[in-house]
Amino acid sequence: MTAASIRRIAHLDMDAFYASVELLRYPQLRGLPVVIGGGRRKVDEAIRNLPAGGTLADIPVEAFPLLKDYAGRGVITTATYPARQFGVGSAMGLMKAAKLCPQALILPVDFDEYRKYSRRFKQVITEITPVMEDRGVDEVYIDFTEVPGGQREGGRVLARLIQRSILEATGLTCSIGIAPNKLLAKMASEFDKPKGISVVFESDLQTRIWPLPCRKVNGIGPKADEKLQRLGIRTIGELAARERDWLVQNFGKATGAWMHEVAWGRDDRPVVTESEPVSMSRETTFDRDLQAVRDRAELGAIFTHLCEKVAEDLQRKGYVGKTIGIKLRYDDFKIATRDQTIESFTADAKTIRQTAGRCLKRVPLERPLRLLGVRVGALVRADSAEASQPAPAATARSRAAEGLATTASLF
């Protein structure tokens, strides 16, 4: 960093991303309340059965499925702005959304299509500003500090260029916040949605950040917020007013110290351009709750399928892992996980199925099940030296783990 440059970090997120991509396919739905969600088979079918002939844009609005007719098990991933007027929002159950806005249209989630647009807009960004951190399908951080023109108007000029370029290349809009660090940039990008640009400086801390509720901090979720409220802290300013030691006493060493830093707008995390995955998983919520005994065959088929999918994902992306795990969600929404570390790395469906099967025998199966998942962790690249090493001699630990599983499987 040169002496003259002031650290400027941008956070960009796409406006109503999934819904906006769908509106490019179906422009006739513009201005109407639309929700994307569920991905339930019924909705998929309704969309597949839309009248053929002409282009997608020719399909009459009346032919699209209505939320009230298709609300099943599942949640909304994105709602268009007209739908949001009715109080419908992401992560809301479809049933609840159908009460609020029965006339909304519903579309199934099409991840492949969103990924295509995700790659396109990120490519546009890296051509202008190479230091970009991927934060999921519709979000990135960008380091403006060393980019020519990145300092002009605190970053606003560069942000406008990026917005324009993304719109030209994809037809999609986004909101950008620029600040001295990631923490503040993330908050700033929410200030003026949609299509907004917000520029925040250190000197804005008291006027623009401190009045915000603590929940706006990336990392303070429902649990931490509830505890803060119980302690009489609602805003970031009120958090900043507490002594660091007091926060440490109430929230522990790491969290307390972190909260203090955050409240004072301090964050020195770098923008990370490359990262390796730690785990890959597949999970599915059943259309109806399943019983381990009564629905054994159905569960077994789903279980095998999940293992095959994870194996495919690993192979396609070129990774192997050695910690295999399962996840169950019971009808009461409680979650149980079990995992086992095996001796050599794998991406093989049969090995995953076998190990996951042993995990399944260690978990209570009395209650009806709502969800089943399979996970492979401790990943390394399939072409790395570690991955191809012969299996080391079994340690006492791994022998103990095997023994445990074998004993349990007798029951």
Catalytic residue among 22, 45, 133, 139: 139
Per CB under 7 A, the segment of 45-53, 151-159, 199-207, 393-401 that binds DNA is 393-401
Among 110, 139, 204, 295, interactor with DNA by CB under 7 A: 139
Q: How many residues bind DNA (CB under 7 A)?
A: 65
Nearer to DNA, 31 or 252 (CB): 252
Q: Minimum CB separation from DNA for residue 160, in Å?
A: 23
Q: Minimum CB separation from DNA for residue 57, in Å?
A: 27
- Binding of DNA by 182 (CB under 7 A): no
**φ, ψ dihedrals at 133, nearest 5°:** -110, 125
What residues between 23 and 62 interact with DNA by CB under 7 A? 39
Q: Minimum CB separation from DNA for residue 76, in Å?
A: 9
Nearer to DNA, 133 or 143 (CB): 133
Catalytic (active site) residue 139: yes
Q: Minimum CB separation from DNA for residue 29, in Å?
A: 21
Per-residue binder mask for DNA (CB under 7 A), 223-242, x = binder: xxx-----------------
Q: Minimum CB separation from DNA for residue 389, in Å?
A: 13
- Binding of DNA by 401 (CB under 7 A): yes
- Binding of DNA by 373 (CB under 7 A): yes
Per-residue binder mask for DNA (CB under 7 A), 185-214, x = binder: -x----------------------------
- Binding of DNA by 380 (CB under 7 A): no
- Binding of DNA by 391 (CB under 7 A): no
d(CA 335, CA 329): 5
Q: Minimum CB separation from DNA for residue 53, in Å?
A: 33
d(CA 172, CA 17): 8
What residues between 311 and 370 interact with DNA by CB under 7 A? 313, 323, 325, 333-341, 359, 362, 370
Nearest Cα residue to 361 out of 344, 341, 338: 338
d(CA 354, CA 360): 10
Among 378, 380, 381, 382, interactor with DNA by CB under 7 A: 378
Residues acting as catalytic residues: 139
Question: Which residues of this protein are in contact with DNA, per CB under 7 A?
Answer: 39, 73-75, 77, 90-91, 93-96, 99, 135-139, 186, 217-225, 252-255, 277-285, 313, 323, 325, 333-341, 359, 362, 370-371, 373, 377-378, 395-398, 400-401
